[in-house]
Structure 1
Amino acid sequence: MQEEHGPRDVPPGPEQTEPTPTKPKHKAAMVSRYRPNDSKRSFCTCLTIFLLFVGITLLVLWLVYRPYKPRFAVVSAAIYDLNVTAPPLMSTTMQFTLLIRNPNKRVSIYYDKLSAYVSYKNQAITEQLTLPPLDLQKHSTVAVSPVIGGFPVPVSVEVVNGLVMDQTYGVVGLKLILQGRLRWKAGAIKTSHYEIYVKCDVLMGLKKGFVGQVPLLGAPGCNVDI
């Protein structure tokens, strides 16, 4: 009889286990590599928010305190001398009453330097007169009445002939020119100096030989460039 052979007992051996996966060694390096980028991103975000806040604040301040240009208007004129009988020199003495208005409710205007002269056919017929410094408080108006001229100035034949002809018709058109520098002040803050140029067209009734207050036939608001 053949002996039945059963399964052989396998002697116990060391337990076979699956190898435990190891973490990549460069992970720590990866973590340390991305942390600085997160810091930079946070810094950029904070900087952007800060700049946006500053921009909004400046915009609000500008809308509240933005300065408007001053306004000039000639309200009266007088002629005391107009001598064109000795070309190429002529002499004239004139006086204009000028209203200067500050339309700003929160900003003052300081005129540190301002001068005036009279022009005819784009040629000066008086010397420049330096006006005293002027301070216009918020939303205020002042009147100045400078007497301009008094000294002979050289002029062209076109100016002499034009003035003689205009006096014959009784209507003379002149320009009062002012130029200088100004500053705006809001609270304790003053701006830098700005150049100002003012041109006032004045149309007056004037006959030859007349002296004194002359009627204004037209004196629209002056043009102001800053």
Structure 2
Amino acid sequence: MSEKECGHHADKRRKIIRRIFAGLLIFLFLVLLAVLIIWAVLQPKKPSFTLEDATLFTFNLSAPNILTSVFQITVKSHNPNDHIGVYYDNLDAYAVYRYQQITLPTSIPPTYQDTDQFNIWSPFLYGYNVPISPDIGASLNTDRGNGNVQLSIRMDGRVRWKVGVFVTGSYRIHVYCLAFITFGSASTGVMVGNDAVKYQMNWGCSVSV
């Protein structure tokens, strides 16, 4: 075979490779375009969360302004979308009084939530010997003396959306739930064990994504 013929075959191979590569790019572009169109049409709705109940095991404020608290909460989440699944990643739950976090974050296992599916999590929240500011301690003593302590249960993490086989990048999710813990004659809780009191709530939570 002459050098001219070899060069001709090499050019032909390069053209075929370029056409295959161009075809792949066009195919990927069309797939991505289809996914984006579906995404725009479906308009994913953010999940909803409900604080079902909270069980209080320990809630003790000792001098000087040291708080020990142990809870178990039950949180229900719902994916309201008919065609979009949700992945929950790095989701942590913790309790806050006023503006101060009073328990360590408790990790929720990574979860996939299918369309129109409910999930229930029941994590324990622990805060042993947590130092709190003097004004927070004073407010807590006052609220407890009045028989009603308002806490917030918060969950922070990331979510990913699943449309068909396509999974998006991750988005931050923040969940904010109010929890009212009552004491003394005003208590609405039910004893469920040694010094454990369960409070039914069934309150919707604020969710931002």
Instruction: Using structure 2 for the length normalisation, give the TM-score.
Output: 0.74
Aligned residues: 173
Percent of residue pairs bearing the same amino acid type: 32
Q: Which residue of 2 aligns with 1:222?
A: 205
Query: Could you list the per-position Cα deviations for residues 149-189 of structure 1 after superposition, in whole angstroms to 9, with x for gaps in the alignment?
Result: 14222211122222222222221110001101110111100
Q: How many Å separate the matches in 2 of 1:111 and 1:101?
A: 12
- Taking the TM superposition and a 5 Å limit, the aligned residue runs for 1:96-107 are 96-107=73-84
Q: Which residue of 2 aligns with 1:108?
A: 85
Amino acid at match of 2:60: N
Contact 2:55 2:72 in 1 (8 A): yes
Does 2:161 align with 1:177?
no
Query: Could you list the per-position Cα deviations for residues 19-43 of structure 1 after superposition, in whole angstroms to 9, with x for gaps in the alignment?
Result: xxxxxxxxxxxxxxxxxxxxxxxxx
Unaligned 5+ residue runs, structure 1? 1-52
SS of alignment partner, residue 62 of structure 2 = coil
Q: Which residue of 2 aligns with 1:156?
A: 133
Q: How many Å separate the matches in 1 of 2:118 and 2:135?
A: 38
Larger strand fraction of residues: 2
* Stretch moving more, 108-117 or 158-167: 158-167
Q: Which structure would you say has the larger Rg?
A: 1
Amino acid at match of 1:142: N
Higher relative contact order (CA 8 A, sep 6+): 2
SS of alignment partner, residue 215 of structure 1 = strand
- Taking the TM superposition and a 5 Å limit, the aligned residue runs for 1:83-94 are 83-94=60-71
Q: How many Å separate the matches in 1 of 2:176 and 2:82?
A: 25
Query: Could you list the per-position Cα deviations for residues 77-126 of structure 1 after superposition, in whole angstroms to 9, with x for gaps in the alignment?
Result: 11100110133321100111100111111111111211111000111111
SS of alignment partner, residue 84 of structure 1 = strand
Q: Cα distance, 1:60 vs. partner? A: 4.9
- Taking the TM superposition and a 5 Å limit, the aligned residue runs for 1:187-226 are 187-207=164-184, 211-216=195-200, 220-226=203-209
Amino acid at match of 2:147: G
Contact 1:201 1:219 in 2 (8 A): no
SS of alignment partner, residue 75 of structure 1 = strand
Q: Which residue of 1 aligns with 2:46?
A: 69
Amino acid at match of 2:109: P
Q: How many Å separate the matches in 2 of 1:206 and 1:198?
A: 26
Instruction: Using structure 1 for the length normalisation, give the TM-score.
Output: 0.68
Q: 1:206 to 1:200 in 2, by over 3 A?
A: same
* Runs of 4+ deviating beyond 4 Å: 56-60
Contact 2:173 2:207 in 1 (8 A): yes
Amino acid at match of 1:95: Q
Unaligned 5+ residue runs, structure 2? 1-29, 186-190
Q: 1:166 aligns with which of 143, 148, 169?
A: 143
Contact 1:114 1:179 in 2 (8 A): yes
Superposed CA RMSD in Å reads 2.6
